[in-house]
A and B are shown apart, each in its own frame.
Chain A
Amino acid sequence: MKKDLKQVNSSIPKIDGMGLVKGKPAYTQDLIPSNILIVKTLKSPHAFAKVLNVNYEEALKVEGIEAIFSWKDVPQTIITRAGQGFPEPSPYDRYILNEYVRHVGDEVAIVAGETEEAVEEALKLIKVDYEVLEAVLDLETAVGHSSIIHPEKEAFSMFPIGFDANKNIAAAYEMHVGDVDDVIAKSEVKVEGTYFTQAQAQVPLEPHNCFTYVDFHGRLNVITSTQTPVHIRRIMGRALSMPLKKIRVFKPRVGGGFGGKQMLHGELFCAMVTLKTGKAAKMIYTRKEVFESTCCRHAMRFNLRVASDKEGYIKAIDMDVLSDTGAYGEHALTVLMVAGSKTLPLYNKVEAVRFNGVVCYTNHTPAGAYRGYGALQANFALESLLDELAEKLGISTVELHKKNMISEGESSPIFKIMGEGSEGVDMNVESCKLDYCLDRSIELIGWENKYPRKEIAPNKVRGVGLAIAMQGSGIAHIDMGSAILKLNDDGFFNLLMGATDIGTGSDTILAQVAAEAIGISASDIVVYSSDTDLTPFDTGAYASSTTYVTGNAVRKAGLNMRKLLIETVAKKFKVTPEEVTFENGVFTTEKESITLKEFSTRLYYNEGLDQKQLVASDSYVGEQSPPPFMVGVAEVEVDTETGFFTILDYAAVVDCGTTLNPNLAKIQVEGGLMQGIGMAVYEDVVYTSSGRMLTNNLMTYKIPTREDVKKLTVEFADSYDPSGPYGAKSVGEIGIDTPPAAIANAIYNAVGVRIKTLPITPEKVLMALKLKEK
């Protein structure tokens, strides 16, 4: 199947790559017209407060100030800014501005003016009276706290998600198969542990930014660095009480998203200014605002129990989760559910499994979407604990995994029970090369000679550790993508898609898919994406959906176009479609032939009454969400005197089905690994005891630099998923999942201390070593 592919499974250069390297204007900020109002917001200095009064009289007098709004000046329509499908599985608990501010950095007022200086000056002159309320800053005491973060009676959920504002619960979920307590009680070997995963910031290098204007038709245009144009349009329509036909959302090139740009951020502030003043307005977030006022990863606590028989066959898994959604409940339920749905099916032969979770509100910066959400956190807990189980059983972790992990053709009851915000979809795993991934990744790292440890100097010990992971490919039965293909004279095509390339290369791989289906070269496809006026519906770039969901839509549209071309040529030559072949840009019948180039030009200029535009389209909703799989193996060197450790090598072997563009797939995994390594050992969103974020810039919040990585080795398994476009599954998120557990396990194997609270820092390792000595 794969060997016949001509355009896909080929590493063509990213179509926008060279232009971006050469610095051509392409991002939202590069397209902002001059003479545009500058919009900034006044932020709350308090973690939780009621805004009693906002006095902006003096501020309005600053020369160049055009408008200032407090919560009393903007519509009080309750929304969720999560940027998900509709109805959203996130609670409606947000306003454009509100009389309560719920975290440091929550917006209090919007200021628009002609110059930066004027706006800055006005911000200083606004006088706000706050009634400071007791903030909830501890995940473990948030539920049932006397301080209620969402006292507003308007807050609600579109359908039952366990939302209980009076208890500070944004969402909750419970499911079980079999009797977990009973199976664990009867099992021969038991392990349990508590694990903490921290909030991590997405840190796209392009800060969030947008601009808005009302065009000559009186329509609101929103140009924004987003992952979800159609959701932005829908949510703005609700918040501003505008019919969607009055709103256009366009996404230029995006300088990285990683989930951080799935939600709405500045769009509503900018739009308020434009709608009230009639003037164009721009909002460019500072890095501090990106950290404090957008979103981060949900911090989580796991209480986990696993039981097996003496041979090492896992009998039960019991996962209990407490998640911190911060001030607002965006993605509260879905991230929670993914913690179970993207880890538990890995061990599908258990007799009983239980998942129970609560997502609480706190007065932290809200958590939102971030690559690998839920899955990454749970992976750390589960794969760490399984390492302990292997040790207790006296078998290697490789053997333990081989005995228990899911195989091709198998299923898991979890697939049907747990979806993402709702019930899932039953499926058999049609492609799963975990066996190969495991064998190959330990071979790459040289496991046989290195496991579990090697002392290389009196105070330097090396160790290896591993973790396995799965993701999904879009949200089955919910995520929809579509594509339109338009033939032009001179024989090239426009591919119009709502799919949202945020730097991943999706425009490129989807052009490859379209070209493969039509039977032409990808260089004859001109891609135009993410403009709600011109491109068809697509839920957007999240949940590892674009390759699989939009990819299938593009493939179908491409096949439709090929059929249409052949039918039109057949009609022209008065033969049946079966008598026409189309290869290498030439249509051939028994007697005649014509190039696509000539045919298309004639079709639009020289065919008299037969002249017509050829357009093909199609859409796709995933019937299932085939998981990509991977194995990650870390080798670390630990200094036992200082606790300092180095990641010497990280080997990863991934089964994502066909790699539509092997180079771009590889970089997706390498980039994911590096963010996973950041989560594992460097990155941590830290607050003061009063709820002010200490890590609100790149000097205090450390993402990995190129000196922090010695070696990454990424390979792909030969795999083909029959439901994917040309066999492809997703690859965007999976890379991030394994580093925390694999590195924790490697450190344990090296020096015998298990770090259960991320990030794993040298200080924690040293402290654990000292405690062990005692």
Chain B
Amino acid sequence: MNIQVTINGASRTWSIEPHELLLDTLRRYGYLSVKKGCDSGSCGVCTVLINDKPVNSCSIFAAKVDGSNIVTVEGVQAEAEKIGAYMVDEGVDQCGFCSPGFVLTVLGLQKELKNPTEDDILHYLSGNLCRCTGYVGQARAIHKYLKESK
């Protein structure tokens, strides 16, 4: 079957299997920033933005996003570089496997939450697991980023 999506600003028709998960479709079409980590919607490395909201692409059928606006890190390179600058400055870009999904959730947070508290930020980002950093360095980076990008 075919679906029509806007992916990173471009209009595309994708041929998909009815049972195909969005994560697999995205990787098949070359959006390799979207990672496969846990198969159960638990780790967040497959996060993409669907109509501005962060979603685990492993937990949604591709058929479901027909007509949607999808953003992967390939489509927000400038924003990723900006957030990334704060991350590399703290050394929290470790293995990097969770980074693209994390960056997209941060962008979702900025859109969705105005003046978030520290707890709001942690809660919003909590679906993006990281096994390398211990999280507190990521928190340092993101607080700085959010403060300075106001």
Whether the pair A705, B38 counts as a contact (CB closer than 8 A) is no
B93 touches A (CB below 8 Å): yes
Whether the pair A14, B99 counts as a contact (CB closer than 8 A) is no
Among candidates B40, B43, B129, B132, residue contacting A671 with C-beta atoms closer than 8 Å: B132
Which stretch, B62-70, B74-82, B109-117, touches the partner chain A? B74-82
Whether the pair A698, B38 counts as a contact (CB closer than 8 A) is yes
Q: What residues of A have a CB within 8 angstroms of the CB of B9 in the complex? A: none
**Cα–Cα distance between A516 and B85 once the two chains are bound (Å):** 24
User: Which one of A13, A284, A699, A703 has the greatest number of beta carbons of chain B within 10 Å?
Assistant: A13
**Cα–Cα distance between A29 and B127 once the two chains are bound (Å):** 23
**Cα–Cα distance between A415 and B37 once the two chains are bound (Å):** 40
Q: 0/1 per residue, A209-233, Cβ < 8 Å to B? A: 0000000000000000000000000
**Cα–Cα distance between A510 and B81 once the two chains are bound (Å):** 24
Which stretch, A156-164, A307-315, A497-505, A546-554, touches the partner chain B? A497-505
Whether the pair A670, B134 counts as a contact (CB closer than 8 A) is yes
Among candidates A18, A664, A674, residue contacting B81 with C-beta atoms closer than 8 Å: A18
Among candidates B34, B45, B126, B131, residue contacting A707 with C-beta atoms closer than 8 Å: B126
Q: 0/1 per residue, A658-680, Cβ < 8 Å to B? A: 00010110110011111100000
Q: Is the interface of A mostly helix, strand, loop or mixed?
A: loop
CB under 8 Å from chain A, chain B span 104-150: 122-123, 125-139
User: Which one of A205, A258, A674, A711 has the greatest number of beta carbons of chain B within 10 Å?
Assistant: A205
User: Which one of A503, A505, A661, A675 has the greatest number of beta carbons of chain B within 10 Å?
Assistant: A503
Q: What residues of B have a CB within 8 angstroms of the CB of A203 in the complex? A: 131
Whether the pair A16, B91 counts as a contact (CB closer than 8 A) is no
CB under 8 Å from chain A, chain B span 48-96: 72-74, 77, 80-81, 83-85, 87-96
Among candidates A13, A22, A503, residue contacting B132 with C-beta atoms closer than 8 Å: A503
What's the minimum C-beta distance from A513 to chain B, rounded to whole angstroms?
17
Contacts A17-B88, A23-B73; A674 near B134 (Cβ below 8 A): yes
A446 touches B (CB below 8 Å): no
Contacts A205-B130, A698-B40, A706-B125; A14 near B88 (Cβ below 8 A): yes
Whether the pair A667, B94 counts as a contact (CB closer than 8 A) is yes
Whether the pair A20, B134 counts as a contact (CB closer than 8 A) is no
Range of interface residues on B (Cβ < 8 Å): 35 or more
**Cα–Cα distance between A436 and B131 once the two chains are bound (Å):** 29
**Cα–Cα distance between A348 and B145 once the two chains are bound (Å):** 48
Whether the pair B35, A698 counts as a contact (CB closer than 8 A) is no
Contacts A505-B94, A707-B123; A205 near B39 (Cβ below 8 A): no
Contacts A23-B33, A254-B95, A706-B126; A205 near B72 (Cβ below 8 A): no
Whether the pair A205, B125 counts as a contact (CB closer than 8 A) is no
**Cα–Cα distance between A543 and B123 once the two chains are bound (Å):** 35
B103 touches A (CB below 8 Å): yes
Contacts A205-B43, A206-B37, A699-B40; A671 near B131 (Cβ below 8 A): yes
Whether the pair B91, A664 counts as a contact (CB closer than 8 A) is yes
Among candidates A17, A204, A703, residue contacting B87 with C-beta atoms closer than 8 Å: A17
Among candidates A23, A666, A703, residue contacting B32 with C-beta atoms closer than 8 Å: A23
What's the minimum C-beta distance from A195 to chain B, rounded to whole angstroms?
25
Contacts A23-B72, A258-B131, A712-B136; A503 near B40 (Cβ below 8 A): no
**Cα–Cα distance between A256 and B96 once the two chains are bound (Å):** 9
**Cα–Cα distance between A23 and B96 once the two chains are bound (Å):** 8
Q: What residues of B have a CB within 8 angstroms of the CB of A207 in the complex? A: 36-37
A202 (CB) vs chain B CBs: closest residue: B131
A30 touches B (CB below 8 Å): yes
Whether the pair B93, A671 counts as a contact (CB closer than 8 A) is no
Count of chain A to chain B residue pairs whose CB atoms are closer than 8 Å in the complex: 180
B14 touches A (CB below 8 Å): no
Contacts A22-B81, A23-B33, A287-B37; A667 near B43 (Cβ below 8 A): no
**Cα–Cα distance between A503 and B95 once the two chains are bound (Å):** 3
What's the minimum C-beta distance from A168 to chain B, rounded to whole angstroms?
32
A729 touches B (CB below 8 Å): no
A253 touches B (CB below 8 Å): yes
CB under 8 Å from chain B, chain A span 6-24: 11, 13-14, 16-18, 20-24
Q: What residues of B have a CB within 8 angstroms of the CB of A167 in the complex? A: none
**Cα–Cα distance between A98 and B88 once the two chains are bound (Å):** 46
B98 touches A (CB below 8 Å): yes
Q: What residues of A have a CB within 8 angstroms of the CB of B126 in the complex? A: 705-707
Whether the pair A256, B135 counts as a contact (CB closer than 8 A) is no
Q: 0/1 per residue, A694-738, Cβ < 8 Å to B? A: 000111000111110101100000000000000000000000000
B125 (CB) vs chain A CBs: closest residue: A706
**Cα–Cα distance between A20 and B136 once the two chains are bound (Å):** 20
Q: What residues of B have a CB within 8 angstroms of the CB of A24 in the complex? A: 33
A594 touches B (CB below 8 Å): no
Q: What residues of A have a CB within 8 angstroms of the CB of B97 in the complex? A: 20, 27, 204-206, 255-256, 503
CB under 8 Å from chain B, chain A span 233-269: 253-256, 258
Given contacts A20-B96, A22-B81, A206-B97, 16 further A-B contacts (CB under 8 A): A14-B93, A18-B84, A20-B97, A21-B88, A22-B84, A24-B33, A29-B36, A204-B131, A205-B35, A206-B37, A667-B92, A667-B132, A670-B135, A671-B131, A703-B129, A705-B126
Which 10 A-B pairs give the minimum distances between C-beta atoms? A23-B33, A503-B95, A20-B96, A255-B97, A663-B91, A670-B134, A17-B93, A21-B84, A698-B42, A674-B134
**Chain B residues engaging chain A, CB cutoff 8 angstroms:** 27, 32-40, 42-43, 45, 72-74, 77, 80-81, 83-85, 87-100, 103, 122-123, 125-139
